[in-house]
Chain A
Amino acid sequence: MKRVFPLVLSLLASALTSWSAPDTAAGDEDQQVAILQSEHSLAEKDAACARLKWIGTARCVPALAALLTDEQLSHSARYALESMPGPEAEAALLQALAKTSGSNQIGVINSLAVGQDTVAVPALGKLLSGANTNVACAAAMALGRIGERQAIDALQGAWPHSLSGALRDAEFDGLMACANKLLTEGDRTAALKIFQSLSRFSKTEGARQAIFRGVILASDRGGISLMVQAIVGHDPAEQGAALQVAAQMEGSDATKALADLLPKVQVPVQIALLDCLDRRGDPSALQAVAKMADSSDPDVRLAAINALGDLGDGSVAVLLAGKAATAAGQEKIAARQALVNLRRGEVTLTLLKAFTTASAAVKPELIRALGDRGDASAVPRLLEMARSQDEGMRASALQALALLAGPAQLPDLVQLAVQATTDDARSEAADALGSTCQRIEARSGHCDVQALVEAVRNGPLPARLALLPVCSGLAEAPVREALRDALQDSEARVREAARRDVCDTRDGELMPDLLQLASSGGGKTRLLAIRGCVRLATQEEGVKLSNDQKLAAFKTILDKPLEAPEKRLVLSGLTPIPDRQALELAAAMLDDQAVRAEAAQSVIAIAGSLAATQPDAARSALTKVLDVVNDPVIQVTAMEARKKIWKMSGFVTQWQVAGPYQQKGKNYSELFDIPFAPETGESASVHWQDLAASANATEPWNMDLLQALGGEQRVAYARTWIHSATQQNVRMEIGSDDGVKVWLNDRIVHANNVARALEPGSDGVDVTLKGGWNTLLLKVTQFNQGWGFCVRFAQASGEPVARLRISSNPDTAGR
């Protein structure tokens, strides 16, 4: 879809035309030169310059150079010359310096600056002392862009003699550009000289800050001292510059200087310094930063902890674990994150070793960190800890294993559940196992469940009961069979657990088992099974059921007598299915007073999803809602839904199309009024073909000409016939991308020469349909991108017109 900027379109069209590379560039160039050197209009000469921007060579330079002094065309000539390769263009601009004045001269100076050619420096230097301040300013900035030794000399020769504020600012900018260029090139000494020469005469805070930044960066080792003094000083401009470059200053001595400042400055600066040290990434600051982690100021502690994560190694792991255990709020979160961020040294080993000495409060944080760090080398030790009788350690180890354990550890995790001596321990082990299995299954699409299934089938009863819930989270065939067998187990508690777990399953293959439970189970199990069916059908992303399969499941459930809560569950499952059968099943439940409100909401939702594809069925179901439901809110919602359906429906989608038609040199707008065969009656030469209706359910109205015919700057015609039982006045609602002209029964009833996006009802026109067949012909123009149209007929009230027949077949329409 295009954006609509009608007023620029003609300009854009000409610009686009000028972009096309010609087949014969030299011939084209000569042609443009001829235009420039003749009596052509300003517009034509400007267009020639624009063309030469693309193709111009040394051949065209004299013609362009002659325009540089032209008040009207100087800018156009520069447009071509400024970016032209080769020395001729540069020379022409340079020569024009002496021939131009005022605005044209400034333009030439600016274009010379783009080329950054040192040849221009002497001439530009002379202009610094010229009478025209604006010209001198432009020259100063241009010299700054060129930035070579000669340019610097010229600028320094003028500075600071210029008394004009504007010229001083321009010279300042030029010299700043030169100095920064020298800095980039590594010539700090020369850069420093310039910065120092500027500093004596610059008073604004912005200028002082910029200079001081340069002075620090150019001062080599002395820069560190300057930076330090500024940070502890009281000049906001210098302090701001120093804090800005603190992270950039190279070398460990800069790190040391900044770290040494930490205890000497006030809290806000401490925090800024900690951030700078963090960004520098130099671990030599570690100890100084670590001390700040015990500051009395909470914000300083927080900044220090953050920095420790990036700068630290194993030596601060215990410190951070202690913070994680004892701090609160953001500090605690930061400490945990910092533990994960540690990258230097043997962090994992340190964390594991720390278990022997860590306090009970710190141990869980150490384990948590191991898990969060994703370091699988910690797994063997974590398994040992998971067997501990220490509840806190065991729970933390299992949490870490849930994140770290791989396929090889699945039997170990099963054994932890089997051998657990308390319900809590079993449950925690089963949770860790479940998380591990699901993680492995999600990543590799499969999980080896042999150990799990063996334990579920043959393990001790407490372990079987603990591990059955793990099965509900997996979609593996052996697990499925184990669950099915458990449903028939001789032990009642196992059967009950299996029923619960089948109801919770993520495995779409268990849908038949769920339906069986929904049909035969009693009370709570039945409700859980229906809920499971609805979830599997509509919410589990891993379960891919077609709408037909979903509907078959719901029909099976609905075949049995259901209680209201059960019907509500089914309705919740039907609601997201955009299918006519779903609509009918929901609409049928409108007859049940107990679930009428829910059924109405379901019907409204499904009808909305069918608005484009099945508007009649949707409208009919909504009418039933309006007939049987008294709730005013539902009434309003249903009426709104019916209105929306009308917005999406009633469009004429049977059309024949002819074209495209183009004419050399004519754009879409000009083509609008040029008649082609379909409107001139030369029907024999017109090839009409059927136009496919939209396949896009969200835009059923879109008769897509771009897809059918393609291209830009052209028109096409579309025709169809409308049968009205009687003569009647109707409103024709038209949308088009781009312009549209409409003939009804061979008479023009509407014309809108425009560039726009397709929007139904953009135009409306009152027309009279005669009784019998009416001929409708459209001409639609194409600028670029989207191209299409839509038409429908409405009553004056906005409601659909009843009993219209449409045919795009002239035979049917008696033509």
Chain B
Amino acid sequence: MSTRKFIGRRKFLRQTGTALASALAMPTFIPASALGRAGAMAPSERITMGFIGVGGQGTGHLLGGAWTYLTGGYTARKDVQVLATCDIRRERREMTSQKVNEHYREVYGEKFTPCKPYTDFREVLDRADIDAVLIASPAHWHATMAVMAAQAGKDMYCEKPSAVTIAESQQMLAAIKRYGRVYQAGTQQRSEYGGKFRLACEFVRSGRIGKLQSIYAYRDGGAIFWPTRFGPGKPVPDSLDWDLYLGPMPWFPYDGNVGAHRFDIGELNWGQHHYDIVQWAADADHTGPVELFMEDGVSCYKYASGVVVYGKPYPGEPTGGDGGACFVGTAGRIAVDRDNLVSDPPDLVQDPLRPNEVHLYHSDSHSGNFLRCVRTRQPTICPAEVAQRSASALLLGGIVKQLKRPLKYDPVAERFPDDDEANRLLTFARRPPWNV
């Protein structure tokens, strides 16, 4: 997507503010109170949401917490009504729905539609009164649930990784497009952390470090592995739906582990944060690498632009490890993570971004951006197109790590040309009936 296009949205979203954010989406018959100008928002105008997966991450989004970006989470927002929490663990779904209801009772008295707990996310998707879902399930479920949410006509926020195979990511994107849904990936660094990541990308794309030559991504690729299927099992607790936990993964006896990332290899959990920023800065949101190779035991990439991405830290540079990257150009380098934005020479990041430099899509609140776009039907700051590519970058790294040899990749066809061995790793057979 062109910079110019982004500039338009950025300014629009930044400068119209909260009141306008609500106003934009409104069909013509929506009363002025719904524009936010009158203060209160009628229950019928709130975006109704279901939360699928309420473990640490999902509960953080729902109720707030130490790591979250919004005090009180989505529950505390006046423009949202949470109608469902869903988890394969009984205690989680019941605790969260109870807390949501307690909050609403405190704020609205007894006049509110209660939040209900669900075990099976399909029942949440079946509810016609739910506009959007937040998917914070285990990683192996993300793309499947995103596809099914789109089929059910729901807009969605979906945690990273957006998919666990390239093929799955493509199906996710196709479904979002097919159903015209609003999608936001859980790559909050584009919105949060005081705008450090956006500013770093703007500086890089404005040429402050000269011509971008290489990027140190601090983490390398990730993948998913085929688990050992047969062995002794344990009794499944009454409070747990083990089959629904496994979902598209092969069935095997319950072993006590229902972790969100138990099938991860490498950096599948965190990698997309890094590669999202790598691709944003490299102006590669809608493409991917053309070559992959290993160096010092980590996956590395080369883009058609000539930029080389290393899945490791920049030597001696501590900034970058926490979700960030170090960008090296002909005239200096810039490193960014959740705590720091630094450069060498130091003044590269000291001058404020000039008006005539590259300005990227601006969002100061990831959740705010998602809800605005649900109303306006405009693309979010991390739409499915971008998420599919950043997930792919991560997963391609996982493939080259497994094959341990240089690979050529066609980012248009999204295949490895004349390389059957590598192409085998683009898919992962799914357990019926789950399909994308």
The residues of A with any CB-CB pair to B shorter than 8 Å are 3, 5, 7-8, 10-12, 14-16, 18-19, 21, 41-43, 46-47, 50, 53-54, 72, 75-76, 78-79, 81-85, 103-104, 106-107, 110-111, 113-114, 134, 137-138, 141, 145, 169, 173, 176-177, 180, 204-207, 209-210, 213, 232, 234, 236, 239-241, 243-245, 265-269, 271-272, 275, 278-279, 281, 299, 302-303, 306-307, 309-310, 330, 333-334, 336-338, 340-341, 343, 372-374, 403, 442, 541
Collect the chain A residues with CB atoms within 8 Å of residue B251's CB: 75
Most buried by A among B230, B351, B355, B424: B355
Segment at the A interface, from B12-20, B72-80, B193-201, B285-293: B12-20
Query: Is B56 interfacial (CB 8 A cutoff)?
Result: no
List 26 A–B pairs whose Cβ atoms lie within 8 Å, in order of A's numbering. Answer: A3-B269, A8-B227, A43-B231, A72-B230, A75-B251, A81-B429, A84-B424, A107-B430, A110-B435, A176-B179, A210-B178, A234-B29, A240-B25, A241-B377, A268-B23, A268-B27, A269-B28, A281-B5, A299-B16, A303-B12, A303-B16, A338-B11, A340-B356, A341-B355, A373-B356, A374-B354
Contact B8 A210 (CB under 8 A): no
Q: Taking the nearest CB of chain B, how far is it from the CB of A201, in angstroms?
A: 15
Segment at the A interface, from B83-91, B100-108, B151-159: B151-159
Collect the chain A residues with CB atoms within 8 Å of residue B427's CB: 82-83, 114
Beyond A53-B424, A243-B377, 15 additional pairs, beta carbon < 8 A: A50-B226, A114-B167, A176-B178, A210-B153, A240-B180, A268-B25, A271-B23, A272-B24, A275-B9, A299-B16, A299-B20, A306-B12, A337-B11, A338-B11, A374-B354
Contact B7 A46 (CB under 8 A): no
Count of chain B residues with a beta carbon within 8 Å of a chain A beta carbon: 80
Q: Across the two chains, which residue of chain A brings its CB closest to B227?
A: A11
Contact B435 A42 (CB under 8 A): no
Segment at the A interface, from B57-65, B112-120, B253-261, B301-309: B253-261
Q: Across the two chains, which residue of chain A brings its CB closest to B427?
A: A83
Contact A209 B180 (CB under 8 A): yes
Contact A107 B354 (CB under 8 A): no
Q: Across the two chains, which residue of chain B brings its CB closest to A217?
A: B180
Most buried by B among A213, A239, A299, A303: A299
Q: Across the two chains, which residue of chain B brings its CB closest to A207?
A: B153
CA distance A50 to B226 in the complex (A): 7
Collect the chain B residues with CB atoms within 8 Å of residue A169's CB: 151
Collect the chain B residues with CB atoms within 8 Å of residue A213's CB: 180
Query: Is B402 interfacial (CB 8 A cutoff)?
Result: yes
B356 partner, pick from A10, A43, A372, beta carbons under 8 A: A372
CA distance A234 to B225 in the complex (A): 50
Contact B230 A12 (CB under 8 A): no
Q: Across the two chains, which residue of chain A brings its CB closest to B259?
A: A5
Contact B226 A107 (CB under 8 A): no
Query: Is B433 interfacial (CB 8 A cutoff)?
Result: yes
Collect the chain A residues with CB atoms within 8 Å of residue B227's CB: 8, 11, 15
CB within 8 Å for A12 and B265 given contacts A50-B226, A53-B424: yes
Collect the chain B residues with CB atoms within 8 Å of residue A110's CB: 429-430, 432, 435
Collect the chain B residues with CB atoms within 8 Å of residue A303's CB: 12, 16, 20
Contact B26 A268 (CB under 8 A): yes
Contact A272 B25 (CB under 8 A): yes
CA distance A374 to B375 in the complex (A): 37
Please provide the chain B residues from 3 to 51 with a CB less than 8 Å away from any CB of chain A in the complex. 4-5, 7-9, 11-12, 15-17, 19-20, 23-30, 35
Contact B24 A275 (CB under 8 A): yes
Q: Across the two chains, which residue of chain A brings its CB closest to B431?
A: A75
Contact B7 A310 (CB under 8 A): yes
CB within 8 Å for A79 and B428 given contacts A15-B226, A267-B23, A340-B355: yes
Contact B4 A281 (CB under 8 A): yes
Contact B402 A138 (CB under 8 A): no
Contact A76 B229 (CB under 8 A): yes
Please provide the chain B residues from 217 to 274 with a CB less than 8 Å away from any CB of chain A in the complex. 225-231, 250-251, 255-257, 259, 261-263, 265, 269
Q: Taking the nearest CB of chain A, how far is it from the CB of B342, in angstroms?
A: 11
Q: Taking the nearest CB of chain B, how far is it from the CB of A115, in angstroms?
A: 9
Query: Is B420 interfacial (CB 8 A cutoff)?
Result: yes
Query: Is B98 interfacial (CB 8 A cutoff)?
Result: no
Q: Taking the nearest CB of chain A, how far is it from the CB of B226, in angstroms?
A: 5
Query: Is B407 interfacial (CB 8 A cutoff)?
Result: no
The dominant DSSP class at the B interface is loop
CB within 8 Å for A83 and B424 given contacts A310-B8, A334-B15, A372-B356: yes
CA distance A368 to B368 in the complex (A): 33
Contact B433 A138 (CB under 8 A): yes
Contact A103 B128 (CB under 8 A): no
CA distance A372 to B355 in the complex (A): 6
Q: Taking the nearest CB of chain B, how far is it from the CB of A209, in angstroms?
A: 6
Contact A103 B7 (CB under 8 A): no
Q: Taking the nearest CB of chain B, how far is it from the CB of A374, in angstroms?
A: 4
CA distance A169 to B376 in the complex (A): 27
Pairs A-B, 4 closest by C-beta atoms: A206-B153, A340-B355, A106-B432, A15-B225
CB within 8 Å for A206 and B23 given contacts A75-B431, A278-B8: no
Q: Across the two chains, which residue of chain B brings its CB closest to A14?
A: B228
Contact B229 A83 (CB under 8 A): no
Collect the chain A residues with CB atoms within 8 Å of residue B27's CB: 234, 236, 239-240, 268-269
CA distance A352 to B419 in the complex (A): 60
CB within 8 Å for A210 and B179 given contacts A134-B433, A302-B20: yes
Collect the chain A residues with CB atoms within 8 Å of residue B257's CB: 5, 7-8
CA distance A234 to B151 in the complex (A): 24
Query: Is B177 interfacial (CB 8 A cutoff)?
Result: yes
CA distance A169 to B154 in the complex (A): 15
Collect the chain A residues with CB atoms within 8 Å of residue B250's CB: 75-76, 79
Collect the chain B residues with CB atoms within 8 Å of residue A232's CB: 28
Q: Taking the nearest CB of chain B, how far is it from the CB of A176, in angstroms?
A: 5
Q: Across the two chains, which residue of chain A brings its CB closest to B149?
A: A206
Q: Across the two chains, which residue of chain A brings its CB closest to B346?
A: A541
Q: Across the two chains, which residue of chain A brings its CB closest to B17?
A: A330
Q: Taking the nearest CB of chain B, how far is it from the CB of A146, in angstroms?
A: 13
Q: Across the two chains, which residue of chain B brings its CB closest to A55?
A: B421
CB within 8 Å for A299 and B5 given contacts A43-B230, A76-B229, A107-B432: no
Collect the chain A residues with CB atoms within 8 Å of residue B178's CB: 173, 176-177, 180, 210
Q: Taking the nearest CB of chain A, how far is it from the CB of B366, in angstroms?
A: 20
